């Protein structure tokens, strides 16, 4: 293992070849999901090309993420700045066209690294973070696309602005801070019917003139696509179960 990247390295110091069986397996999983997206889009009379599949590689062994890269996947999501930092600078140096989305909560003391590492921040959820992001993007000359995270279930423990505060917060981010707000993101409560939350997110986006909806995960991405998702965030169905030990 290389201490710097946490990646397996060969005798010449280069990366170890990824097992072709693993590449095949992950490639098949991605194809299966794409077909399901096409079917769901078709049922809703939507263009499947308007749906981007974000592969969520958090907690997965790096070989699985690299297998997805070898299978041609280029849009990825990560939850944590530290974990992203351990894989993506290396992957970016070896694979063209990577687009990396931050989909987990962002602490203000990690804003600098987040702006350096990511292309899209999906979890803008409070004024202090929005201000720090605007300042840091200005400083680095990097205008990242942003999503506002909406806590559609108004869950105590979950990040995101409440639906009632969403309009004002979107206006603040866009008009006062100059953030490039492209859409909204939500994570419905596990025990609820996700469709109600997806519908609510779509409604908030519509009345604020926002085009993108990041909603739907392994268990509910088809419903999300039927309800207008432009971005689905899928981990387990591509990479298998996460091993948190
Ligand atoms: C982990 C995670 C996902 C992917 O979840 P799966 O159920 O494994 O598809 C999607 N979105 C967010 C915000 C996540 O944290």
6-65: pLDDT as tens digits = 445 555 555 668 999 999 999 999 999 999 999 999 999 999 999 999 999 999 999 999
18-239, which class in CATH?
alpha beta
pLDDT in tens, 183-222: 999 999 999 999 999 999 999 999 999 999 999 999 999 9
Ligand 1 touching residue 56 (CB < 6 A)? yes
Name which residue sits closest to atom 12 of ligand 1, judged by CA.
Answer: 103
Q: What would the pLDDT profile of 127-182 be if each residue is shown by its tens digit?
A: 999 999 999 999 999 999 999 999 999 999 999 999 999 999 999 999 999 999 99
| Contacts with 221 (C-beta within 8 Å, 6 or more apart), sequence order | 33, 36, 37, 40, 229, 232, 234, 237
> Using CB atoms within 10 A of its CB, is residue 27 exposed (0-12), middle (13-18) or buried (19+)?
middle
Q: What's the N-to-C CA distance of the chain in angstroms?
A: 19
Distance 222 CA to ligand 1 centre (A): 14
CA of 244 to the centre of ligand 1 (A): 14
pLDDT of residue 109: 98
- The domain locations on the chain are 18-239
57 lines ligand 1 (CB under 6 A): no
The finding on whether 187 has its CB within 6 A of some atom of ligand 1 is yes
Would the pTM of this model clear 0.85, i.e. be above it?
Answer: yes
Q: What is the pLDDT of residue 244?
A: 84
Burial class of residue 190 in the structure, from the number of CB atoms within 10 Å of its CB (0-12 exposed, 13-18 middle, 19+ buried): exposed
Q: Establish whether residue 79 lines the binding site of ligand 1, counting it when its CB lies within 6 angstroms of any ligand atom.
A: yes
């Amino acid at each position: 293992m290389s201490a710097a990247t946490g990646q397996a390295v060969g005798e010449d110091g280069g990366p170890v070849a990824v097992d072709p069986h693993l590449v095949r397996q992950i490639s098949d999983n991605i194809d299966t999901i794409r077909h399901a997206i096409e079917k769901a889009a078709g049922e809703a009379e939507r263009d499947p090309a308007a749906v981007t599949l974000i592969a969520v590689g958090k907690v997965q062994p790096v070989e699985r993420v690299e297998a997805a890269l070898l299978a041609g996947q280029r849009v990825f999501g990560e939850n944590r700045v530290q974990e992203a930092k351990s894989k993506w600078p290396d992957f970016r140096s070896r694979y063209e066209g990577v687009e990396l989305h931050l989909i987990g909560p962002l602490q203000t003391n990690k804003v600098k690294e987040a702006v350096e590492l990511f292309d899209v921040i999906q979890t803008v959820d409070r004024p202090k973070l929005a201000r720090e992001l605007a300042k840091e993007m200005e400083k680095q000359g990097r205008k990242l696309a942003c999503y506002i995270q909406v806590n559609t279930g108004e869950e105590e423990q979950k990040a995101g602005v409440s639906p009632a505060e969403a309009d004002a917060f979107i206006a603040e981010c866009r008009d006062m801070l100059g953030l490039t707000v492209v859409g909204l993101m939500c994570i419905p409560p596990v025990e609820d019917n996700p469709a109600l939350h997806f519908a609510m997110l779509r409604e908030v986006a519509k009345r604020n003139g926002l085009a993108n909806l990041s909603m739907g995960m392994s268990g509910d991405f088809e419903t999300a696509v039927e309800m207008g998702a432009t971005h689905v965030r899928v981990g387990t169905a591509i990479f298998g179960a996460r091993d948190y030990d």
